[in-house]
Structure 1
Amino acid sequence: MSALIARQLPAPLGRRPASRFLPALALFLALALSPQRAAACTVSAASTNLGSVSSYSVASTAQQGSGSSGLQCDVALALLATHYVALRVDASTFLLTGPSGQTIPFVASLAQNGTPLTIGTLQNLSSTTLLSLFSGTNNSIPIYFRTTATSALRAGTYTGFLDVRWFYSVCTLGVAVCLAYDSSPGFVRPLLGTPTNWGTGTAVRISITLVVQNDCIITAPTAAFGSAPLVGSFNPITRTILIRCSAGTAYTVGLDDGSNAASGLRRMRAGTTANYLQYEIYKTASSTDRWGATGSARRSSASADSNAGTYDSLTSQGYTYRAALLPGQVTPPAGAYSDTIRIDVAF
């Protein structure tokens, strides 16, 4: 009786049985079809400082600035893969609030001078390329703020907020196929097309700050004595300085000793010569009190000759002074004599 013996022939050199390829191939397909989540995005509170600006600049010009909108992602390894990003503003007064409850309106946008964001509207940013989208500091999405010019503001710090909610599924590994991604809570990543379930997203607050500084607008006309042959022939003159400052701000006004003073005396000089005319400035049209730069020699805004104590940033206070050549000095050579007085305002 013969027996049939089956024998497995060895595989040709350089080949392996096909069954040994199956586990490796299955593992590769599992990795490609089931991407692992990579925590590459962070959402955190952010702030934008619009700077420290004169109250009159805030009154005449919109103040602008930008900062992080709270979402940062490391996308260097997935620039060509599909990503989904959307933003919604949940709450904001769109006002910066400062001293005494005064406010400055502002708008926020995703581009400089762009369309203002509004509460409750979902902004789908998925069509924007990753490099453009995350162009802010540390791979953040920038947000831009712009104020409305507002007058009669008190100096101080003005603050506001923007509560936003980010929805995202950003690919963090892959070129044409996304091998790893990071998503916000509840986001359902679609195979194709626009997401139908953005989930609950992640909320973040963006704080905005603007410091309004005290400032003044000063109008000081030239004080000219005219011409005469002798020192004693010049008559005293009166002029009025107009000053208006930031709302709600009392202040004092000082005059320095000029560019040619000597031994505490103000002097006018004829060009570059060594010829001088001594003169003085007094606090009011009839006063004999010298108007100076320190201590009691200064003038208080409460003692202005007109509109004293009116601090609305729109109304000027008037300070009328008397200027006179000092008697008893020898008449110097003929010439054009002049000096420059600096006015300073202290709050």
Structure 2
Amino acid sequence: MSTLMRTIRALSALTVATLISTESSACTTSTTSTNLGNASSYAVATTPQQGSGSAGLQCNIVLAALATHYVGLRVDASTFQLTGPTGQTIAYTAALTANGPPLTVGNFQDLSSTSLVSLFAGTNNSVPIYFRTAATPGLRAGDYSGFLDLRWYYSVCSLGVAVCLAHSSSPGFVRPILGPPTTWGSGVAVRVNVQLTVENDCIITAPNASFGTAPLAGSFNPITRTILIRCSAGAAYTVGLGDGNNPDNGVRRMRSGSDYLRYEIYKTTTSPDRWGSVGSARRGSGTADTNPGVYDSVTTQEFGYRAAILAGQATPPPGLYTDTILVDVAF
């Protein structure tokens, strides 16, 4: 065999290998999931949560751009609600573009005239889908999930370079000679799962407490104040008070420069028990002075306390003595 013939056969083998590799780049469909993340119940109550993911159809847009392409979509089923562990729901919308018109059940959309770059703008040349929840108050914490059952119809070029030699089509699709398709076939059904995690949260109001002014450490009178707490629906909790910035062997101290004034905070306005941050030193929401055990996200619990300068300590030098206490809520 001449050298020229061997060269021709080698080129022919190379050409066939190239065509086979391009044919593998067709459209694929798959079940997908979009996680809208985690948000506090109060954030979900006032602010729509948004996110995006894949709508379940992925195509090689480089090959498809070389020939006439057809893509259609129908929503087969969806409640357009995310349902939580206790049956509460969050309404949401889904769209193919950010802030675009919402998808509806049963509505067929012919997307063939859409720019391929825009249509397959998602990760790995997938069609993106955008979700937006409605602000929903009074939610309990937990995972909220929903779904969209979509049906994709398509016929795009899957083989060729300058001229399209083959197409990747959904079942039953008949390519028209001219004009729009008249037979879209049965399409391919895919499910898009959607999830949002609602987290417990609290709104805490802790007014400052001042003992006023006195000439001697033993001259300060005890004071009473109230901490206001409102938490997510269904969330029992405990409240702890930290030891402040200057504790000494479990005793709180206010500070002025290098000098200290010892004081304490006690559970309720009459209790002798220290209000702390660990174990039994915490207060349970069921012991609130008002609305104990009411957890509907809108009702506030009130926790009164008594604070006192400790007797028997030497009077420190004059000055403004301050401390900061961390109020924490645990579920």
- Structure-to-structure mapping, 1:1-347, within 5 angstroms: 40-174=26-160, 177-270=163-256, 273-347=257-331
Q: Is the 8 A contact 2:25 2:60 kept in 1?
A: no
Tell me, yes or no, if the aligned pair for 1:38 and 1:182 is still in contact at 8 Å.
Answer: no
- Misfit runs of 4+, over 4 Å: 36-39, 174-177
Report the 3-state secondary structure (helix = DSSP H, G, I; strand = E; otherwise coil) of the residue aligned with 2:64. coil
SS in structure 1 at match of 2:157: strand
Residues paired across the two proteins, number: 310
In 2, Cα distance between equivalents of 1:263 and 1:328: 16
80-89 vs 155-164, which moves further: 80-89
2:106 maps to amino acid: G
Tell me if structure 1 keeps the 8 A contact 2:23–2:159. Answer: no
Question: 1:94-122 CA deviation, whole Å, 9 max, x = no partner?
Answer: 00000210000000000111110001111
Separation of aligned partners in 1, 2:177 and 2:164: 11
Are 2:95 and 2:102, in contact at CA under 8 Å, matched by a contact in 1?
A: yes
Give the letter for the 2:89 counterpart.
Answer: T
CA distance in 2, matches of 1:135, 1:111: 10
Matches of 1:254 and 1:145, distance apart in 2: 38
The structure whose Rg is larger is 1
Q: Distance in 1 between matches of 2:81 and 2:163?
A: 44
In the alignment, is the contact (CA less than 8 A) between 2:66 and 2:164 conserved in 1? Answer: no
1:123 Cα deviation after fit: 1.2
What's the % identity of the aligned pairs? 69
Say which SS state the counterpart of residue 127 (structure 1) adopts: coil
Gaps of 5+ in 2: 1-21
Contact residue 38 and residue 181 of structure 1 kept, 8 A: no
Secondary structure of the 1:302 match is helix
TM-score normalised by structure 1 residue count: 0.87
Question: Please, what is the CA RMSD of the aligned residues?
Answer: 1.4
User: How far apart, in 2, do the equivalents of 1:138 and 1:39 lie?
Assistant: 12
Structure 2 length normalisation: TM-score? 0.91
> CA 1:199/1:39 → structure 2, altered by over 3 Å: closer, same or farther?
farther
Task: Work out whether residues 187 and 200 of structure 1, in 8 Å CA contact, stay in contact via their aligned partners in 2.
Answer: yes
Q: Is the 8 A contact 2:155 2:175 kept in 1?
A: yes
Q: Secondary structure at the match of 1:68?
A: strand
Give the secondary-structure state (helix, strand or coil) at the position aligned to 2:164. Answer: coil
| Contact in 1 for aligned 2:75/2:107 (Cα 8 Å) | yes
Q: 2:28 touches 2:58 (CA, 8 Å); kept in 1?
A: yes
Residue 8 of structure 2 aligns with which residue? Answer: none
Following superposition, the deviation at residue 37 of structure 1 comes to: 7.7
- Deviation for aligned residue 1:77: 2.5
d(CA) in 2 for partners of 1:88, 1:175: 31
User: What SS class does the counterpart of residue 77 from structure 1 fall into?
Assistant: helix
Alpha-carbon contact 1:82-1:178 (below 8 Å) kept = no
Deviation at 1:74, TM superposition (A): 1.7
